[in-house]
Amino acid sequence: MAEPARARPKPTPETQHFWDGTQAGELRLQRCDACGNVYFPPRPFCPSCASRKISVFKASGKGKLYSYVINHRPAAPGFTPPYAIAVVELDEGPRMMSNIIDCPQTPEALELDMKLEVAFEKLDDKITLPMFRPAKG
């Protein structure tokens, strides 16, 4: 039997641009053309002012560690515990859940507010996940 796999996201019409972006090595966010609000997760209108005039843009991929847990048990399929489940605050404002790679999964190494940068991890031919690693320099 194959190893149990990590939960695989299935894009919808409203989120396809995001997942196309990660495959192309871009973290794509949306900005409201009417009020300037940058938001996540994706939707074709602004949750702040309800305008349908919005644009997709390439985010900087930079952010900082807002909070996390280090999950020991039970572990999700496809994960080897302990592993951190993090919430990253992007420089553009929105927050997103992710994992922190290239970093020990310990409270000592995972300091709140540490600077992070996006890294892309290919799950299969169709899906690439946005991960974060400690920012260089």
Partner 1 sequence: MRRNQVAVVGAAETTELGVIPNMSQIQLHADAALNAVADAGLKLSDIDGIATAVETPQQIAHYLGITPTWVDGTSVGGCSFMLHVRHAAAAIEAGLCKTVLITHAESGKSMIGKLPRSIPADSLQGQFEAPFGVYGPPSMFPIPVLRYMKTYGITHEQIAMVAVVQREWAAKNPRAMMKDPITVADVLNSRMIAYPFRLLQCCLVTDGGGALILTSADRARDFPKKSVYILGTGESVETPMVSQMETFNSSRAFKIAGPTAFREAGITHKDVDHLMIYDAFAHLPLYGLGDLGFMPHEETGKFIADGHTRPGGKLPLNTNGGGLSYMHSGMYGMYALQESVRQMRGIAPAQVKDAKISVCHGVGGMFAASGTIIFTNEK
List of residues contacting partner 1 (CB under 8 A): 6-12, 15, 19, 40-41, 66-79, 82-83, 85-87, 95-99, 107, 112, 123, 129
Beta-carbon count within 10 A of 22 CB: 21
* Chosen from Zn ion, partner 1, none, partner binding at 46 (C-beta under 5 to 8 Å by type): Zn ion
What element of type H or E holds 131? strand 128-134
Long-range (24+ apart) CB contacts under 8 A made by 67-72 are 67/112, 68/100, 68/110, 70/105, 70/106, 70/107, 70/110
Q: Which CB atom, from 31 or from 130, has the smaller least distance to partner 1?
A: 130
**Residue 49 binding target from Zn ion, partner 1, none, CB below 5 to 8 Å by type:** Zn ion
- What is the distance, to the nearest Å, from the Cα of residue 117 to the centroid of all Cα atoms in its chain? 10
- Binding partner at 107 among Zn ion, partner 1, none, C-beta below 5 to 8 Å by kind: partner 1
How much of the chain is in helix, strand and coil states, percent to nearest 5?
Answer: 5, 35, 60
Q: Which stretch binds Zn ion (CB under 5 A): 43-51, 64-72, 102-110, 114-122?
A: 43-51
Residue ranges that bind Zn ion, judged by CB under 5 A: 32, 34-35, 37, 46, 48-49, 51
